[in-house]
Amino acid sequence: MHAHFERHVYHRHSHETYSFGVTEDGRQAFRCRGGAHTSAAGMVLAFNPDDPHDGHPADELGFTYRIVHIGAGLISDVLADIADRPVGLPLFDAPVVPDPGLARTLRALHAALLGGAPALRRDELLTATVGSLVDRAAMRRVRASPAGGFVERARRRLEESCTEDIGADALAEAAGCSRFALYRGFRREYGMAPSDYQRQLRLRAARRLLARGEAIGDVAARTGFADQSHLTRWFVRCYGMTPGRFQSAV
């Protein structure tokens, strides 16, 4: 994505991928991992998979940024190729990295992806960018797996049928705990309530169907949204564009 926002406010959300961005102009403010952060021009954004965050302009001038989402499998493949052996996934501890050189590398990758650069050039930039990100901004350890027990059981229940209208009592029963314990434990582990996590799963499912060219109204019905306008409202809040614009871009 390459965008300029002056008024848009991102609802709290996360991505199943790693997300790396560069603020090109202005300042964007957001909350992530329990803290408030601001990214100014030339700074790099680094989000781990499932890092909940929001976002909005820090002032009336807005901000311009580029962001690219890279799946964990691809990150693992690139790092294994660099090291010539299997390696663990990295964990980025700081969501804002003030590193102009890293920003230039990431900007070059993004421009190549959007500009139709030859495949060899794209692959070279991907390897260089991932290697630089890990060397200069990541902690040298594998990202912890989700906590076991009732929180993990509840997450699996939501993922098995994210479009089902499951109530709090039924979800707590599936998890084997009280409603209060589930709510508190889920927010501690995933940074959001079970209902927010369920909506996010639905948005991800909708995004996959939209990318396959399915009609927006049908996608809304299949993924648990009340109607097309309901899907559109949440899609804009979390992804910064309408489902139709996303589908056209894909």
- CATH number, residue 176: 1.10.10.60
- Asked if residue 206 and residue 126 are part of one domain, the reply reads no
Q: Is residue 106 part of a domain?
A: yes
Are the beta carbons of 100 and 46 closer than 8 angstroms? Answer: no
Give CA–CA dist 200/221, Å, rounded.
15
Based on the fold, state whether residues 186 and 239 are members of the same structural domain. yes
Q: Which of 139, 158, 189 lies at the terminal end of a domain, its last residue?
A: 139
pLDDT of res. 143 = 47
> Could you list the pLDDT tens digit for every one of the 250 residues in the chain?
999 999 999 999 999 999 999 999 999 999 998 899 999 999 999 999 999 999 999 999 999 999 999 999 999 999 988 888 778 899 999 999 999 999 999 999 999 998 888 989 999 999 999 999 999 999 865 444 444 589 999 999 999 989 998 999 999 999 999 988 899 899 888 889 999 999 999 999 999 999 999 999 999 999 999 999 999 999 999 999 999 999 998 8
Same domain, 129 and 183: no
Same domain, 117 and 161: no
The number of folded domains in the chain is: 2
Q: What residues make up the domain containing 173?
A: 150-249
Question: Would you call 53 helix, strand, or coil by DSSP?
Answer: strand
pLDDT value of position 18: 97
Cβ atoms < 10 Å from Cβ of 155: 20
